[in-house]
Structure 1
Amino acid sequence: MNSAEQFLQDRLQERTTKGLFRQLINTTLPFDFCSNDYLGFAKSPALKQLIEAQVKNIANYKNGSGGSRLLSGNHPYTEETEQFIANFHQAAAGLIFNSGYDANVGLLSAVPQRGDTIITDELIHASLIDGARLSHAERYKFRHNDLNDLAQKLKNAKGLIYVVVESVYSMDGDTAPLKEIVDLCKQHQAHLIVDEAHATGIFGHKGRGLTVQLGLEKDVFARIVTFGKAVGTHGAIILGSTALRNYLINFSRSFIYTTAAPIHHIVAINCAYQLLTTNDYPTQIAHKIILYNELLRNINLPIIKSSSAIQTILVKGNANARNAAAGLQEKGFDVKAILSPTVAEGKERLRICLHTYNSDEEIRNLAEQLKTLQ
């Protein structure tokens, strides 16, 4: 075995010994409380029919795009879809990326420059962390949702300042105090970037996100909306000014140097947004969230308060969290354990996702099973 292969084996063995070895699994449990498909769009027959009908209306579409957007991969329909989505979220313009990871890395690696400052909430997504690392800006973290700590970091910032938060945090499910953060950014001439991945479809009129719900869309420099959660498809869009869109087309490496998504992929995104406008999905998912929280009030478990579709029960220790999840899975409830180092040691948890297709009875039955964890 050569030295590189030995390195791989040693690292994998180390992870296995610590009980942290990851592997791909196929889950077919009857009650989904795991996926990010909050509105059921990923499995929606109506969306599938809409996509199939719309694809037929695009003449001579290709199986693949054939190149990057700057070469052969652009299409008028893609640009129309970008503007349609931007209008939906009350933004001037938008640029589609192949994934949320690509969008976050592409934005933060391209916009902040040497001499600038990026200040991030300590719990932001790994893709935002990686994007910030790729920039030449100074980087600081502030304690999660801690406005005083953010204010202190802003006082020490130099150059152009970018504050990066999620509107809904993917592991805790709690929301950022966006109004207060906007006020702080205005005081320090900082530019706010909000990842709306887990707020889209859940908050705001027709699911426009928490930024729009709070009327802050004009106060935010950039928003990232991903399509792989409530929108039920794949990809992401960066929303902002026309200047930001043009800048990213010119300087964002994860946009420039990658093959564009095929047109039927863009059709799926467009159709999902059409479906969003047809119903009051935020009210539907809110009913499930309220019901779950009412049931959990009578159960003595360490939870993180959340008004989003992501609900968390802390179960300290990787082995304990894994065993708790396995017990629920044996009863048919697809609930996953989130282990350290994905979350901080001592903050291991069960991450429970609620969906419009979870019946009230399923949620009540889940709550009954959670009582066994007390």
Structure 2
Amino acid sequence: MPDDRQPRVWALLGPHRGDNNQVLALAQALGFPFEEKMLRYNQLRRIQPSLLGATFRSVEADCRAQLEGEPPDLTISTGLRSVPVVRELRRRSGEQTRSVHLGFPRISPRYFDLVVPTPEYPVPDESNVTRIPFALSPHVERSVSPSDCALLEKFPRPHLLLLVGGPTLYWELPVEQILGAVRDLLARAASQGGSVLVVGSPRTPADLHEAIATELRNASQPTLLAPNDGPPSYPALIEAADELFVTADSVAMAADAVMTGKPVGIVPIAKSALGRAVTAITDRLRPGKRLYPRDLRFFWTALEREGFGGTIHEPKASNPPDYAKLVAERVRQLLAQPAPPATDAPDSAQ
């Protein structure tokens, strides 16, 4: 975009908080005004992007209106659901709309101007692929309401915050294993003072959530099991924490923790039955290759290599670069380049 006008940027948001935080982190780092497009998807979202093609049809009808009209200069997207929308916007613009996709689009990177995956995703190496060690997260002080501050001030410091995710295709969170981490934190609070704060995610299994609640109710130390939607809010908990501990399934929450610069411990999880079978077969037939659609082992290796995070017993602080700003600079360079010649694109939606 060689002229002096600011680009029109659309941040395509969806149902997952971690995904949306990544999109917003990059949009904010770019420094341009941007529009948030909150999309709700219908059952067509289950079709692979390569089969669905360029279309708005996978978006609920009452959400499509915000996508009509002149396409933006730039889209920022994540998740496979957004891929058909991005392709349709590019089609309508005559391929003039630039696109940045965060994560694994489950389609060739050639459909985007820039793809930014984290280590666990099997995205092929291409000239338009930039890998980062963990998901983008805002590297700024989070806005915290006075009521959240007042609530958290009731709990003595240090605040030991445990962030609990949920199972993935190949990994699970055994109840006793996670309760072991909770007990370790309670023991620390008992011997050194402080309080234990815990928050789950929408992926946290109900039985694990209840088991944690029971453990905390029976503890003699000050504890809080925060609701997923607050109060206190998730940003308030992150901001108030003195040390953070994250179950190893959650790339997004690990990024939020590491980017605080505070001590972080990664809580191990376990392979599911499917995970044990698939990793055994893959490691034998394709040694060193990632599982599809993602292989968390590569993410953990990257964290260890970069020194981002320790263990439940020895949390580690680090000073990571602001990856959102680094990616934003790559995007600005992209926008400064002339777009390819416009192609004829019909106005009608597919």
TM-score (norm 2): 0.25
Write 1 or 2 for the structure with the bigger share of helix. Answer: 1
- Tell me: higher relative CO, structure 1 or 2? Use CA pairs within 8 A at least 6 residues apart: 1
TM-score (norm 1): 0.24
